[in-house]
Amino acid sequence: MTTLATLDIDGRIARIALNRPDKLNAFTAQMHADLRFALDTVETAPALASLVIIGAGRAFCAGQDLTERARGPDEPAVDIGETLGRDMNPLIERIRALPFPVIAAVNGVAAGAGASLALAADIVVAGRSAKFSFGFCKIGLMPDGGATYSLPRLIGPARAGLLALTGETVSGEEAVAMGLISRVVDDDALTDEAARLAAYFTTQPPAALAATKRALAASLSNDLAAQLELERLTQQRLGFSADYAEGVSAFVSRRAPVFGTKR
Ligand code: T3D
C-alpha cells in the first residue's frame, strides 16, 4: 500500500512529504499512522540535523479529511477528542520535541489542521501562492492542532482573533508580514530554499541548536528571571563543549568551523 507520509533520509537531512496529492494531502487516520511510523524513524535516526515537511502536489495540507467525519442521520458522531488524542496532539508534540530544526515548506493550501501542522515547525517557508486558513469555526469546531496556542503567540491576540474567528485566508506574503511564518519565496524556489536551510543546519553545532530550540520554547511560559537562569545554565554547559572550542578556534584562525554531530 502507498504510504501517505513519505520519509526520505539523505545524509543528515530528513524529509517527510504528506502524500495524498489528489485530496490536497488532507489528514486521514491512515496518514496519521504513516506519520507516526515516519516519526519513529526520524526520532531514532542517528545525528539528524534537520527535518523538512512538505506536501506532495499542489497543496501542503487541507486539514482533516472531512469525508472521514461525514455520517448518516442515525450514525453516531466521531469522537474528535479521541482522534485528537491519538493523532493530532501527539503529532504536534513530537514535531515540537525534535532536538533539531524542523522546516515546513508550505507549497500551497495549508488549511485547518494543515495550517496547525505548519505552525508546529521552527521555520515556516511558503511559496508566494501559499494560502493559510484557520476556518475551523466555519464547520462548527474551534482551532486545534495547537493553533490556539501558536496563533496568539506568533501574531498577537488581535490578529489571532481575526484569523481564528473569521477563518479568513491569508497569502504567503500576508503571513510573513504579520509574523505568522518565517519567509516567503517564489513558488519555484520553495523546495530549493527549504533544502538550503536544511543543509545549512548540517554545518551547525547540534547541541547549540537543540539548546536554542528548548530555550525559545521555555520562554513562552518562563518569566525573565527564569529565562535568564535557563540561559546561564545552558550556556555554561555549551561553553565547555568541543563545538564551542571549535567555533572560537575557527573564528580566530579565520577558517570555517567543523562541528561534531553530538547533541
Ligand atoms: O475531525 C477532526 O479531527 C477535527 C479537526 C478538524 C480540523 C480541520 O482540519 S477541518 C478541515 C479544514 N479544511 C478545510 O476546511 C479545507 C477544505 N477544502 C477546501 O475548502 C478546498 O478543497 C480548498 C479551498 C482547500 C481547495 O479548493 P480547490 O478548488 O483548489 O480544490 P478542491 O477541488 O476543493 O479539492 C481537491 C480535492 O481534494 C477534492 O476532491 P475530489 O472532489 O477531487 O475527489 C476535495 O474534495 C479534496 N479535499 C480538499 N480538502 C479536503 C478534501 N477532502 C476531504 N477533506 C478535506 N479537508
Helix (H) or strand (E) holding 111: strand 109-111
> How far does residue 26's CA lie from ligand 1's centre (Å)?
7
Task: Grade residue 243 by pLDDT with cuts at 50, 70 and 90.
Answer: very high
> How far does residue 60's CA lie from ligand 1's centre (Å)?
11
Cα gap 158→219, rounded to integer Å: 21
Residue 84 per-residue DSSP state: I
**Nearest protein Cα to ligand 1, atom 19:** 62
The pLDDT assigned to 37 comes to 98
The pLDDT assigned to 263 comes to 86
* Per-residue model confidence as pLDDT tens digits over 57-72: 999 999 999 999 999 9
Task: Grade residue 262 by pLDDT with cuts at 50, 70 and 90.
Answer: confident
The pLDDT assigned to 160 comes to 98
The pLDDT assigned to 59 comes to 98
The pLDDT assigned to 178 comes to 98
Question: For the chain, what is the largest distance between any 2 Cα atoms, rounded to a whole number of angstroms?
Answer: 75
Q: Of all atoms in ligand 1, which is nearest to the CA of residue 78?
A: 1
Mean pLDDT of the chain: 97
> 34 near 5, Cβ under 8 Å?
yes
> How far does residue 45's CA lie from ligand 1's centre (Å)?
33
* Per-residue model confidence as pLDDT tens digits over 208-220: 999 999 999 999 9
The pLDDT assigned to 137 comes to 98
Ligand 1: residues with CB < 6 A are 23-24, 26, 62-67, 69, 80, 83, 109, 111-113, 135-136, 139, 141, 144
* Per-residue model confidence as pLDDT tens digits over 20-75: 999 999 999 999 999 999 999 999 999 999 999 999 999 999 999 999 999 999 99
> 125 near 103, Cβ under 8 Å?
yes
**Nearest protein Cα to ligand 1, atom 55:** 65
pTM above 0.95, yes or no: yes
* Per-residue model confidence as pLDDT tens digits over 195-210: 999 999 999 999 999 9
Does the pLDDT value for residue 251 go beyond 90? yes
Pocket test for ligand 1, best of 66, 119, 133, 138 (most atoms within 8 A of CB): 66
